[in-house]
Structures are given as C-alpha cells and as structure tokens.
Chain A
C-alpha cells in the first residue's frame, strides 16, 4: 500500500536532515541557551510561515511547475489581515485564505486556458498581486488585533500552537502525498504528464489543485506572519519566493517534477530558519545575509540539480 511517494523518496530528504542536524549542533555548541525551551518555541514560531510557504512551493514543484507568486501572496495576506482583522475578527482568516486560493486559480487559469508557461504566468500573477497589495496597503502599517497574537504566539512553551499547526499540516500533507489518489496524480503528472493522463489523471485538475493549495498555504503563511508582526507589510513576502524554492530544492524536491517528499521540505525550511537565526546570533549584517543566502541557493542547485536540469 506504500505505493506513492513516501518510501521511494525518503532518501531525498537526507541531505536536508543532515544540514538541519549539523546547523542545530553548531548553534547549540556556540550558545547553550539555544536548546532552552523559550528559544525553541521562538524558533518554531519563526518556522511556521516558512514551512507553510515551502510546502506550497514543494507541491507545485511535485507537479513539475513553479510558483513565483508565493512572495506576493504572502504580502497580500498580511495587507488583508492588517485591514480586515479589526473589523471582522476571526472571519478575516478564512477571507485571507480564500483570497490566496483565488490567486492560485488565476495563475492556474492562465496556464491551463491560455497555455502560458507556468514560470512566466506565476511571474505575471506576482506583478498583478503586488499591485493589488499596494492598492490595499501602500506602506507598512495597519493593525492586526492582539487577540490573534495572544492565541497563536503568547505561550512560551514548545508544545504551543505554532509547532502543533506545523506538525498537523505536514502530517496531513504526508498522508495526502503518500496514500491518496490525488497525491499520486500530482506526482505522476510531474514526472510524465502523458502517462499520468493515460492513467486517468486530469491535467487540469492537477494544475488547478497545486496552485490553489500553494495559494492557500502562502496566504496562511502571510496571515501567520501578520499576526506575529501585528501589522501588514506590502513587501515583506518578496524574499520568500526565492527562499521557498531554495528550501524545496535543498529538501530534495526536483525542479523537473515528480520527485521529492514533503518532509524534505520541512527539514530544509527548518534548516533555513536556523541559518537565519545563526546569522542573527553572529550579528551578521542583514545585507551580507542576502548574499550568503544567494550563495547557499547556488550551492544547493549545484549539488542537487547537476545534470538533472532541463533547458529552461
């Protein structure tokens, strides 16, 4: 029954896991407070948005597509929360996720209906979404109700909502991509669209579902982020686009589709969060961080993509 993805792709998560453990060991030996519950709780609340967004990107990559609008959707969600959370209360969360789903539908429609290259279509969506975001919230600001923060982030225990949500979402994704027909169809479409079609996977359904899932997860990441900073920021998501792609690739997800594991995405997202955390502990200039991340990304590509890449 373990037919789908889990066992076959388990090995691909190994490098990310090694990197994660190594980073944790280095940081723990450098600063003893690292393993304290407060710091781990803090890290898990940083991990939540990154892990959600990376999962969405990984799922799109499973289908052999790519979503460069993740960052814009995150920014949009923070803007939506910053304007709606006070008047609407908790209803603002489903509204924000729904808007994320809508963004995914727009991208998928362009790919499916107009046969536009997924990379370029998501780039075009990203521009349009950024425009909408800037119309809603031209500069960082707005207000997210403190009630959200109290529920999600106030606890200083490790076993608090951020970690629980992360585990729940990834457990669900593991089941979805390990044992469900939908997960198999997405992998199948990613490795060979024709063969998947012959086996009864509807290409349309695959394309729409991966982009809607990615849109919802990106919006969830943005929602969580806005709750953490208690406001909105129209540009906060920009860095996430490349971060999610590099985390997915570090996690063993192939750009060519059909290969990878959601757990790899989780390990790599955690490793990236740790790397950021280490940069902060080392008091490294934030601009040097951007250079370092670009170089890490190139290294990840060199190690994982070598010889496997397509021409695009």
Chain B
C-alpha cells in the first residue's frame, strides 16, 4: 500500500517543469526589484490567489475534456453582487455570501444543463452564458456598480497569519487540498477522472457521466465565484469587467501546469504554479514599466509556448 501512495504523490513531470519556470521567474523578479524579499513573493502569491482558485476550477473542467469560458463573467458577477449586497455593512455578511454563492451555483447549473441536457458544446454554451451574465451585470448596475466591501471582511485577502502567511494563500491551499482529496480519494472524483480520460470506457463501466459533468461545471462556477469574492476583498469595491481576463488567464494557468485538452489529467500543483507564473510575469511587466497591452501578448504567447512544449514531448 505504501509504495502506491508514494507514486501517487510524486509530482508529474509537467508540474516539475512549471515549478522550475516559476523558480526562475521568482529569481528574475527578485533581481529586477533589487532587494526584494520573500515577503514580496508572498505578497504576489496573496494577490494571485483569486486567479489560482479560478484556475483550479478550470483545471477540473479541462480534466473532463471541456472548457469553461464563463469563469471571468462568473467572477465579475460575484464581485458586483457581493459589493452591492454588502453595501459596506459587515452585518450583511451572511445574506451577501449566500446570495453570491447561490448565483454562482445557478451559473454552474445553467452551464451544466446546456452542456449535458441540451448537448451544446461546452465552450459555446459557456461563451453564451458569459455573454448573458455580462449583459445582466450591465442591466442590473446600469453601468455604475454600487456598494463596497466592509474592511472587516477584507481581512481574508489583506490579513496575514502571524505575518508569515497571507490568509488568501491559506484559503487557496485549503481549496486545493479539498479538490485533490475529492478527485483522487473519493468515488465520484475518481469516476470524474475516468469519464474525462475516456468517456466511452466510463460509459461502459456504468459511470453516469452526465451528472458528473454537471457537477464539474458547478464546482468550476463556485471556484470562479470564490475567486471573485477574494478579488472583491482585494479591491474593496465593485467594478465592471474587472474579472474578464480571468477566463483566458485561467486556461493559460491550467495549461502551463500540464492540463491537457484531451482531458483525464488533474494537476492542481501545476495549475497553482501556472497561476503564480502568470501573476509574476504581470508584476515583472509592471516593474519593467512595459505598457499594459504587453500582457495580452505575453498571455497569448505563454499559452502557445506551453502547448507547443507539451505537444512536442508526445512526438515519437
């Protein structure tokens, strides 16, 4: 039994590659900022947590051989709804969180139903939901979102545990751990993994793939909502379009971390490295005072580079 556990815990080569790239980038960033410290890196990780959590959901969807293009919109929805439900008053905590997570759940269910019941290809279904959500946000807010996040709630991203570990990184770690345990050590999770790796084999083994796909979209939407909540805690207010870049960024993060579009692979540590890499690159572009437009170019180039690298390994 012991060796099995050890092989299961050995990181995949894609994860090691991503970690090596991350280490390299961290060194470059430390050199570029001169006199940067571990504190600086941890602060980067603190701000990368929303992306990291959203990328986890995306990695789960990629494991199912699908794509969720609505995560950015779902995170933006969470941001707008949370701020307006809180309205700056910490006593609204319960209803605000319930409403935000409830809407996230609804988005996930809608995606799942469109994909499984109506058999619409996932990327188109989620693209359409993203469009409906974006329009809904604009109609609801009239273009100028209101409300704010009370300072006592913002501790979840601004606070540090004993000046060593940011709370947001702690939340990120806990969520990752829960997902790893779910995917690798529960029956439903393992069935999901098999359904993603080989849908036909899964069907022949009597796995009800449909409900698992719905479940994966619900989890992804909830992750996006949680990411949006953390983002709101960082910014402290509601803004329109603030989370849009998370859609492509989360795909990039998962892909850098070794996710395959054919499905069947779930590497949360890799996705975490990917999210940190993307965030460090953005910090680096900022430190080097490059125009913000450069990040789009870098974002696209990273996806191409990571996939080209992964695909070249498969060639005989």
Task: Name A's B-contacting residues (CB within 8 A).
Answer: 110, 113-117, 119-121, 123-135, 138, 242, 245, 255, 285, 287-295, 297-298, 301-302, 305-307, 309-312
CB-defined contacts of B132 to chain A, threshold 8 Å: 290-291, 294-295, 298
| 24 pairs from A and B in contact (CB 8 Å cutoff) | A116-B307, A116-B308, A120-B67, A126-B300, A127-B248, A131-B299, A132-B297, A133-B293, A138-B293, A242-B128, A285-B139, A287-B143, A288-B135, A289-B135, A290-B131, A290-B132, A290-B134, A291-B139, A293-B135, A294-B128, A298-B120, A301-B121, A301-B124, A302-B118
Q: How far is the CB of B157 from chain A (nearest CB, A)?
A: 26
- Most B CB contacts (10 A, CB to CB) among A121, A298, A307 go to A298
Q: A310 — which chain B residues lie within 8 A by C-beta? A: 121
Would you give the shortest CB distance from B129 to chain A, in whole angstroms? 7
Dominant secondary structure of chain A at its interface with chain B: helix
Give Cα distance in the complex from A306 to B118, angstroms: 7
Q: Is the CB of A116 within 8 A of B311?
A: yes
Nearest B residue to A245 by beta-carbon distance?
B124
- Cβ contacts under 8 Å, B303 to chain A: 120, 123-124, 127
CA–CA, A246 and B45, complex, Å: 39
For the A-B complex, the count of residue pairs with Cβ-Cβ distances under 8 Å equals 145
Cα of A167 to Cα of B27 in the assembled complex, Å: 58
Which chain B residues border A135 with CB–CB below 8 Å? 291, 293-294, 297
Look across to chain B and name the residue whose beta carbon is closest to the beta carbon of A287.
Answer: B138
For window 145-190 of chain B, which residues contact chain A by CB distance below 8 Å? none
Cβ distance A164 to chain B, nearest Cβ, rounded Å: 33
Q: Is the CB of B65 within 8 A of A302?
A: no
Residues of chain A contacted by B3 (CB below 8 angstroms): none
Q: Considering the complex of A and B, which 4 residue pairs feature the smallest CB-CB distances, nearest first?
A: A131-B296, A134-B293, A290-B135, A131-B297
**What separation, in Å, do the CA atoms of A239 and B260 have in the docked complex?**
28
Q: Which of B121, B125, B294, B307 contacts A131 (CB 8 A)?
A: B294
Alpha-carbon distance between A143 and B132 when the two chains are bound, in angstroms: 33
Contact (Cβ within 8 A) B129 A294: yes
A301 CB contacts on chain B under 8 angstroms:
118, 120-121, 124-125, 128
List B contacts of A302 (CB < 8 A).
118, 120
Cβ-defined contact, B307 with A311, below 8 A? no
Chain A residues with CB under 8 Å of B118's CB are 298, 301-302, 306
Nearest-CB residue, chain A, relative to B312: A114
Query: Do B131 and A293 touch (CB < 8 A)?
Result: yes
In the bound assembly, the distance between CA atoms of A121 and B301 in angstroms comes to 10
Contact indicator B119/A294 (Cβ below 8 Å):
no
Decide if B311 touches A306 in the complex (CB within 8 Å). Answer: no
Whether the pair B67, A306 counts as a contact (CB closer than 8 A) is no
Can you add 6 more A-B contacts, CB < 8 Å, to A131-B296, A301-B120? A114-B304, A116-B311, A119-B67, A135-B291, A290-B134, A293-B135
Q: For the complex, what is the distance from the CA of A88 to the CA of B263, rounded to whole Å?
A: 49
Q: In the complex, are the beta carbons of A306 and B135 less than 8 A apart?
A: no
B136 near A305: Cβ-Cβ < 8 Å: no
Residues of B within 8 A of A119 (CB): 67, 123
* B interface SS class: helix
Task: Determine whether the beta carbon of A134 is less than 8 Å from that of B261.
Answer: no
Binding site for A on B (CB under 8 A): 65-67, 114, 118-125, 127-129, 131-132, 134-136, 138-139, 143, 199, 248, 251, 255, 261, 291-301, 303-304, 307-308, 311-312
B135 touching A291, Cβ below 8 Å:
yes
Residues of B within 8 A of A126 (CB): 300
Residues of B close to A121: CB separation below 8 A:
304, 307
Name A305's contact: one of B67, B120, B261, B301 (CB within 8 Å): B120
A127: contacting residue among B124, B199, B297, B311, CB under 8 A: B297
Q: How far is the CA of A271 from the CA of B66 in the complex (A)?
A: 31
Cα–Cα distance between A297 and B132 once the two chains are bound (Å): 10
Taking each of A132, A288, A309, which has the highest tally of chain B beta carbons within 10 Å of its own beta carbon?
A309
Q: Are B261 and A120 interface neighbours, CB within 8 A?
A: yes
Contact: A131 with B304, CB < 8 Å? no
| A37, chain B: closest CB distance, angstroms | 34
Cβ–Cβ < 8 Å partners of B124 in chain A: 245, 255, 297, 301, 305
Q: How far is the CA of A201 from the CA of B307 in the complex (A)?
A: 26
Contact of B300 among A131, A287, A293, A294 (CB under 8 A): A131
Given A128-B297, A288-B135, residue A309 in contact with residue B128 (CB < 8 A):
no
Closest chain B residue to A308, Cβ basis = B119
CA distance A293 to B301 in the complex (A): 31
Q: Within 8 Å CB of B311, what residues of A?
A: 114-116
Assess A120 versus B251: contact at CB under 8 Å? Given A126-B300, A312-B66.
yes
Closest CB in chain B relative to A286 CB, distance in Å: 8
Residue of A nearest to B315 (CB): A115
- With a cutoff of 8 Å between Cβ atoms, the chain A residues found around residue B128 in the complex are 242, 294-295, 297-298, 301
Whether the pair B293, A242 counts as a contact (CB closer than 8 A) is no
- When the two chains form their complex, are residues B119 and A134 in contact, meaning their CB atoms are under 8 A apart? no
Smallest beta-carbon distance B98→chain A, Å: 24
Q: In the bound complex, do residue A291 and residue B304 qualify as a contact, i.e. CB atoms below 8 Å apart?
A: no
Measured in the bound complex, the distance between the Cα atoms of B307 and A113 in whole Å is 11
Assembled-state Cα–Cα distance A311/B251 (Å) = 18
Are B292 and A134 within 8 A (Cβ)? Answer: yes
Choose among A110, A113, A294, A309 the residue that contacts B131 (Cβ–Cβ < 8 A): A294
Given the interface contacts A119-B123, A309-B121, does A288 sit within 8 Å of B261 by beta carbon? Answer: no
